[in-house]
Amino acid sequence: MTGVMAAIGRFQKGNEIFYAKVFDGEVYRLKGDVFGSPSFLKRPEPLKGLRTLTPVVPSKVISVGVNYADHAREGGRPLPEEPLFWFKAPTSLIPDGAKIEVPFPTHRTDFEAELCIVIGRRARNITATAASRFILGYTAAQDISDRTIQNSQSQWARAKSFDTFTPLGPYVETKLDPRGLSVQLFQNGQLRQNSNTSQLIFDCHYLLSFISTNLTLLPGDIILTGTPGGVGPIRSGDRLEVRIQGLAPLMNTVK
């Protein structure tokens, strides 16, 4: 795909599931371990006709909250002194193009656009300086949230872990510098969130270092780095698009 220079996706063709590099509407199949030292077939095949899956299958989905100052203000929360994180169920993941299903239509359920870190190597007690060596790349995500449940409980995992509540993808960009990237969400073509990763309270490398001092991260694990201000409710029929500078857009509809 033009503009995505080092994007790796995960695809299905019939019963076969495989990783491939994506470039200009074609894919080059990966040989070897995507988390090792893979090579790619020189002969491309068309992207059209392949089913795009979530780019990784993580053992852990870690979500960071209150990591943009404007989002903290709109939620009436103080700025955190250290990263606040929790776990989302991996079963909440859906790929680009899939439908977000809202289980309780009477509840307020919000969109949240986020830059996502994809872990490339086993990481434990690493420094922020060394963090880039443990990152496979970055992708786009959403942290869909049932606010009615979230605001009624001290733990957030349930409100954010319903099936389909973590759209992810479509690809992992392996050559992306996460600093100074625009982060936007469009709802039915209307710009709702518009910020920049320069506004992160805790940047990507610090987050990876901090989380790795608390638990071991494995290849394929993902960290959602937080959402900026402008979150809002979703409704059936909505078309949501996350646009993060340097990444292919993530598009999903609401059911």
Interval 75-96: pLDDT, tens: 788 888 999 999 999 999 999 9
pLDDT at 61 over 60: yes
The pLDDT of residue 73 is 81
pLDDT > 70 in the chain, percent: 98
Taking the model in full, what pTM does it have? 0.95
Distances (CA, A) of 153 to 35, 73, 124, 158: 37, 20, 31, 9
Three-state SS at 188: coil
User: 243: which 2 tokens?
Assistant: 């646009």
Fold classified for 7-52? SH3 type barrels. (2.30.30)
CA 127, 141, 90, 26 torsion-angle sign: negative
Q: Where are the domain boundaries for CATH 2.30.30 in the chain?
A: 7-52
- Residues 173/23, Cβ–Cβ less than 8 Å: no
Q: Where are the domain boundaries for CATH 3.90.850.10 in the chain?
A: 61-254
Check if CATH label 3.40.630.30 holds for domain 61-254. no
pLDDT at 186 over 90: yes
Distances (CA, A) of 225 to 20, 45, 50, 65, 236: 25, 34, 29, 8, 26
pLDDT class for 3, splitting at 50, 70, 90?
A: very low
pLDDT class for 197, splitting at 50, 70, 90?
A: very high
Query: What's the rounded Cα separation, in Å, for the pair 176 and 161?
Result: 28
Give the tens place of pLDDT for each residue, 215-238: 999 999 999 999 999 999 999 999
pLDDT at 2 over 70: no
